[in-house]
A and B are shown apart, each in its own frame.
Chain A
Amino acid sequence: MRKEIKNKKTIFLDFAATTPVDQRVLRAMLPYFSKKFGNSMSLHSLGQEAKTALEESRKIMANFIGAKSNEIIFTSSATESNNFALKGIAFANKDRGKHIIISSIEHPCVMESAKWLKNQGFKITKLRVDKYGLINSNDVKKEIKKDTILVSIIHASNEIGTIQPIVEIGKIVKNQELKFKSKIYFHTDCAQTFGKIPIDVSNLKVDLLTASSHKIYGPKGAGILYIKEGTQIEPILHGGGQEMGLRSSTVNIPAIVGFAKAVQISQKEMKQESERLKKLRDRLIEGILKKVPNSFLNGHPQKRLPNNINLSFDFVEGESIVIQLDLLGIAASTGSACSSAKLEPSYVLLAIGLSPQGAHGSLRLSLGRWTTRKDIDYVLRVLPKVIRNLRKISPF
């Protein structure tokens, strides 16, 4: 094993955490730092040049998800977009109702926003999920009440990769809306699906949609919130009135140009890339489950992100696995308590019915644009040894 490490570059299998910036994206961004550095609000040519780049980027985003340009708001991150969606809808519609529905496996930025809103007097319902992490759309129907103003469901879990039946849930939200004759906004967090699986806002029947740049080989510091025309939403950032008055702040042109370029690349390569990743994903899952006794897959076997693998190993702890893999040149992540700042295991893994012990022994491997079959085979060679060695130390 030692020989293998020696000449090894890092095999990055943590693409769900972040991605490197694609060289094509970087090239597109570079002129906007020092040469075309204008403020999109300035009237002079430099400013208008920046504004043109901004509006071109907006068009690319809109086109990618079947929206209109004026329905795309650029933000700094998916976290900001999700905060904006939840808090913005809540405060603009509080006179009609104070009830918000989310799932129990949302990203922390939705969970924490909902928690904050609860403290502000809103009512929050968290939908349960089954053992695969799927929401039962009947639960959505049951939980929507007269005073429901927003349903926010993550498109695919950042941890276990399960893809929710968003189309189905969207239909139910619309039906209930007709029944109660009161607008119910439907938001989905697409941070993990955007650029990886096809997304069309009219097909998904969503009013709001979140996406992020740095998960699709764009730079960090850019996100979008799609806001359907006519949506009643309160801005969070007040100031110069950028982004149609909905998000004041000097616009981060280089990052947005990069984000748009990343989208164009994804648009072209997505179909082929997702087929390629699915094959690698399934090869790795099957190989590990076969080679390592007492291991199991978390999340849905088919309804999952093409690049997500989440496994649990009995009798060993996730942080130990991750650091052992790091020593062998593999970057991965875990839902174990020992790696979190709160020393509590992942609530997503607990929500799908894993015991804390199962959650402690979890490992997430997320594949990306530069993952090769050779990388996968290297993991298949070393991971069983890592688990075996850690089990030797374990009393169980």
Chain B
Amino acid sequence: MKKICPYTQKVMKHFKNPQNMGEIKNPDGVGKVGNILCGDVMWLYIKVGKNKKREEYLKDVKFKTYGCIAAIATSSIITNLAKGKTLKEVIKIDKEKIIKSLGGLPPLKIHCSVLAVDALSEAIYDYLKRKKRKIPQNLEKKHQRIEKEKKIIEEKYKDWVEMEDSN
């Protein structure tokens, strides 16, 4: 039977064969976003190096994701898009870029692309924080929004979290 599914071929390619899947030992930054209670969790690891122009760039990017096809495919593509780019370029990657690169996402799954962007920016935030560097305003803002959303979800699933803790 012909395989018909709600996702584009590009999405399926990344789902079936995720790029840069795994962990980085001693990473320079880690971004952990999402919540298992909601069904999506992304952990994104980065290793930062310096190029010939002495600019910082992402020498390596890896991910681990719990979630649906869209969550896995967006994780895979964002690592592809970010790897080898300078930090300045990486910060500019947005959800539109991801959706376009995947040839589109079903409307209900747009939030997965947001999650991937969040994971990447949190990893960079973590890197700058570790280096005790000044955090650009837009990154700080984003971080605060992500933290706030985390709290809302924790509140929503409070009973479950407590139950899991007491087990």
Contacts and interface: CB of A to CB of B under 8 A. Distances in A.
Interface of A: 9-10, 315-317, 319-320, 323, 326-327, 329, 336-339, 341, 343, 345, 355-357, 360, 392-396
Given A355-B164, A396-B66, A337 B5 contact: no
B118 to A, nearest CB: 15
Given A317-B68, A345-B39, A395-B41, A327 B3 contact: yes
Given A326-B3, A327-B3, A336 B37 contact: no
A174 B21 CA distance: 61
Contacts of B37: 355-357
22 contacts: A317-B39, A319-B69, A326-B3, A326-B5, A327-B16, A336-B68, A338-B67, A338-B71, A343-B108, A355-B160, A355-B163, A357-B37, A357-B160, A392-B21, A393-B21, A393-B65, A393-B66, A394-B41, A394-B66, A395-B42, A395-B43, A395-B66
B36 A357 contact: yes
Nearest to B69: A323
B15 interface: yes
B18 interface: yes
Contacts of B124: none
Contacts of A320: 15, 67-69, 72
B66 A10 contact: no
Task: Give 5 closest A-B pairs by Cβ, nearest first.
Answer: A338-B68, A395-B64, A319-B68, A356-B37, A394-B66
A317 to B, nearest CB: 5
Find the residue from A315, A320, A339, A393 having the highest chain B CB count within 10 A: A393
Nearest to B23: A395
A356 B157 contact: yes
Contacts of B64: 393-395
Instruction: Give the bracket for the number of chain B residues in contact with chain A.
Output: 20 to 34
A215 B18 CA distance: 38
Nearest to B44: A395
Contacts of A9: 1
A396 B70 CA distance: 18
A360 B5 contact: no
Nearest to B161: A355
Nearest to B41: A395
A338 B109 CA distance: 8
A360 B66 CA distance: 10
B163 to A, nearest CB: 7
B17 to A, nearest CB: 11
A39 B158 CA distance: 58
Contacts of B68: 317, 319-320, 336, 338-339
A316 B66 contact: yes
Nearest to B164: A355
Nearest to B66: A394
Nearest to A323: B69
A339 to B, nearest CB: 8
A326 B12 CA distance: 12
Contact of A337 (B7, B38, B65): B38
Interface string B25-61: 0000000000011111111000000000000000000
B5 A317 contact: no
Contacts of B69: 319-320, 323
B160 A356 contact: yes
A355 B65 CA distance: 19
Interface in B108-167: 108, 157, 160, 163-164
Contacts of A392: 21
A20 to B, nearest CB: 13
B5 A356 contact: no
Given A316-B66, A355-B37, 20 more contacts: A315-B66, A317-B39, A317-B40, A317-B66, A320-B15, A320-B69, A323-B5, A326-B5, A329-B1, A337-B38, A338-B39, A338-B71, A341-B108, A343-B39, A356-B37, A356-B160, A360-B39, A394-B41, A394-B64, A395-B64
A356 B1 contact: no
Nearest to B160: A355
A355 B38 CA distance: 10
Nearest to A315: B66
Contacts of B71: 317, 338
A320 B68 CA distance: 5
Given A317-B66, A395-B66, A336 B163 contact: no
A9 B2 CA distance: 10
Contacts of A327: 3, 16
Find the residue from B1, B36, B38, B39 having the highest chain A CB count within 10 A: B39
Contacts of A317: 39-40, 66-68, 71
B18 A393 contact: yes
A338 B71 CA distance: 10
